[in-house]
Every structure is written in C-alpha cells, then in structure tokens.
A and B are shown apart, each in its own frame.
Chain A
C-alpha cells in the first residue's frame, strides 16, 4: 500500500523535493496549489520509497496501513484528489 498524507500537512514542500517519481501534488507551480489545504500522494504513482516520510518536518506522511484511526479518511482523500484532477484535465 502506498504512502498517504494526513490533514496535519503544512504544505512545506520538502516531500516534493525528495520524491523520485513526482507523485506528490499539487506542486507550487500548479494552479490549484494555493487553494489546496494540504499536499496529496498519488496512489497510482507512489513507489513506496519512504523518502517523503523522512523529509516531512511534521510527520504527516504514513504508510497506508499505518494511518492513525482518526485520520483514516485521508486514504480516500489522497486517491480522490487525483481522481477528480484526472477528470478536470
């Protein structure tokens, strides 16, 4: 299962900088960056490498199976963000 960003994300872009497959969005240059309340990981692209987990200064990234119960919705939310984006584009 891929990694998931939970709601305590502060949009520090350290994870984007280290992601080897560019699966964390929106990126600062994207039009939906400013309105996004957090960053999301594309479950279709993530390769489970762990680099973002190390980089996150607020520990907001978890392996899917390890997402705290109170943040369980974040798993769907990450996937849904990319599903909706695919429709828009």
Chain B
C-alpha cells in the first residue's frame, strides 16, 4: 500500500500540533507543512511578546517532534496564490487547513483609517519581526497612545510601549522596533475596556505583570474599579477564578497612591468605548463614551452607552485590539457568519450538502474561531487528527490522481524554505543572539530570511 500523503497548510501552533500528533500516530504518512512565511511557528514567533521568552521555548518541542521526526517544510509558499487548493487535492490524501485568522476586526468608527490608527496585530507583528510589518513605522512621537481592548494583546502592546528599552534589549524584539522604542516619546498609555473590571479578558499573570515593570505605574480610577450591581452579581454567580482575581488586582491598583517617580503610566479605563478618532491627516485624539453594564433578555451581559456625551483623549497613536478575523481561501468553503471553515470536529463540510468533503480538514482558529491560548490548539489538533485517522481507516480520504507532492508545483523556484533552510535561519539568529547576550536576533525582512535559508545571501 502506498504511503498516505498529508499537507498541512499553515505552520503556526495549530498546524504544528497537528503535524506532531500525526507523527505520534506512526510513520505511515508523509507530512508536508506549507507556510506562507519563510519561517514556521506562526504566532509563537510573531505573536507571543518578546518579553515572554519562556513561552517561545515551545519551538524546541516543535522542532524535535516535527522536522527532526521527518516532516517536510515548504516555507514562503502561499496556498491560494502560489499553489491552488485543487493542485493540493490532486496530490494529497488529506489537506489540513491551519491558516488561523489573518486580519483584525475593525471598530467601525469614523477616523479609524487615519494614519496613526492601527490594528494592534500590526504593531505586534512589527515588534516581533514579522516580514509583513517591518516597515510599519508606528508614530511614537506623541506622549499619549490609546489601546482599545481588554485582552492579552492589549496588555502586550501596553507593556511593550512602556517597558524600559534596556530590558527589551535583552529579548528577541526586532531591532527596528527596539531602535524606535528607544526614541519613543510615549509616556502614557490609556487602555480602554468596553465593559467593566469583572469582564476584562486579561489573564491574572498579564495584569500582575503590568504592575511589576520598573518605572511604570498602573493607574485605575477608584470609581472605575468598583463593580456595578449587575457585574457584582455576575461575578459571584458566573465569574471565573481569573475574573475574581482580576477584580481584586484592579482594586489594589486603584487603592495604591500615585507614584511620582514613575516615568511612564498605563491607565486602565473601564466602561469606555471609542466613538470617533479625531484628526485631519493624522490621529490627534479619540472621542470616548461611557457605558453601563446591562443584562439582555438571554442573560448575556452587554455594555450600553449611558449618554451621547464624549470625553476626548488627545493622542498620536490608536491601537485597536478587539479580535482577530479569518480570511476566506479560494476554492474552500467558508462560513461567512462565523468566519471559520464550516466543519464537524475538523472535517470541512460542503456548504450545500452539509456533507464532509473527503480529505479536507481544519484545525485551530480557522476551525473554532480566534479563541484560546497556545495549548488549546493541542486538544483541537487531537480532535482533527482523530477524524483524519478514522477516515483513513474507513477508506474515506481523498483519492489523489497524481503521485506527487507540492514539490511538483514549486519547480523552478529557488526561494522556497525547507526544514534545512529554517534550521539555517534558526542557527543564524541564535548565533547572533549569543554574541549580544540575547536569546536570538531575528531576521525580519523577507529577503534576509530567504538569503540565509537558501545560502545565497548573508544577512549579517
């Protein structure tokens, strides 16, 4: 019997956990990871903040259980443009989509498109050396920056904007970002939460960390740390362990006296929604309305504006972090309402018939929506791999008409990054890091990455 050929599209955490688990099932399959960037590991490399280096150690596990276990890598190859879904289906018994959610959700308010108003995800990509965002050049010339959202991306960007650059210099933050942050005029970061302290989506660890940075003061207005009656009741009845600890922590921040010696502040504001971004040819300020928490008829908590009155916060940078959103892929079904691939436990479904399409699977954010943390993808991958293995055993996989792999489709291209190419990038970056007492020095520009990977250039 011929070997089973499986293509995984997207080498972020979801694709990586899928590859390593398929490999754990045995060596009956050839597993190819196809990734649009020259480097693997997606948001582990380009999302996780540089001052959270310990989490990035997961890359060693991925390298060991995937590439050193024989899976192949085809980096700098975009499925949908360089290679079509139908081309893969001619060659693979199974194609697993692990493409994540590649855009951010918009606020839908006037002025959002002004220069100086950016998705937080672009800013994250910029400081993490993501090739698509090297040239972002966020404007850090104004004293105040506003961050919209109350999740961990919001906490990450608030921290990166205020942390002492000398501390960042010991991380793998992108060099272009480090230089810009050293010259930054930002001294005050205002973080706006639509709902109250009980509903903030920060983790305890992130909220605690904000208050532990040298030279940075976290400011919470005592009145805003108090819970409204609806939230009080909700926290007691349905609140999570994390939410209860967050409320305690926010009350501590509110009770602490002001620290005149702190050079930078992070103001956490609650029950505040952006109404409009002001400015003529650049962000000059943001109008904010005050909300209250109500329960709708289904018992879900909602934030509702109390009045039309607005407060204007002068600022030069607005970073919005109100969620990620997936992008449809050519020739693959897409659920336009939920922004995921329609699927049943990972089996992608035909939108017309509701039946599983043989050999097409989804995993990660493109399967369940942009929720959960890194490890969530491990259970998610287990489910998809279980479906795939069941289908293999039942003879329900795709029947490819050609014997080949994606390699056939990449003939003549000298800019495809293989596992050996990635290993060259990794070694190069680690060596550069060791020389400067940093965990690694990232190559950010696509040409530099490709030069080192293919041995045709030297970024140093």
Contacts and interface: CB of A to CB of B under 8 A. Distances in A.
Interface in B51-91: 52, 54-55, 57-58, 60-61
Interface string A1-30: 000001111111100000000000000100
A84 B241 CA distance: 8
Contacts of A36: 240-242
Interface stretch (B174-182, B185-193, B309-317, B374-382): B374-382
A54 interface: no
B54 A8 contact: yes
Does more than half of chain A's interface fall in helix, strand or loop, or is it mixed? loop
A59 B204 contact: no
Query: Chain A interface: which size bin?
Result: 20 to 34
Contact of A58 (B58, B203, B241, B242): B58
Interface residues of B, number: 26
A13 B60 CA distance: 17
A72 to B, nearest CB: 10
A11 B374 contact: yes
Interface string B37-57: 000000000000000101101
Interface centre among A34, A57, A81, by most chain B C-beta atoms within 10 angstroms, is A57
Lowest 6 A-B CB distances belong to which pairs?
A7-B205, A11-B375, A10-B374, A37-B203, A12-B375, A57-B61
22 contacts: A7-B203, A7-B209, A8-B54, A8-B205, A10-B58, A10-B373, A10-B374, A11-B373, A11-B375, A32-B241, A35-B242, A37-B204, A37-B205, A37-B373, A38-B203, A38-B205, A58-B55, A58-B57, A60-B54, A73-B204, A73-B208, A77-B245
Given A10-B374, A32-B241, A37-B373, 8 more contacts: A7-B204, A8-B54, A10-B55, A10-B58, A11-B374, A12-B374, A38-B205, A57-B58
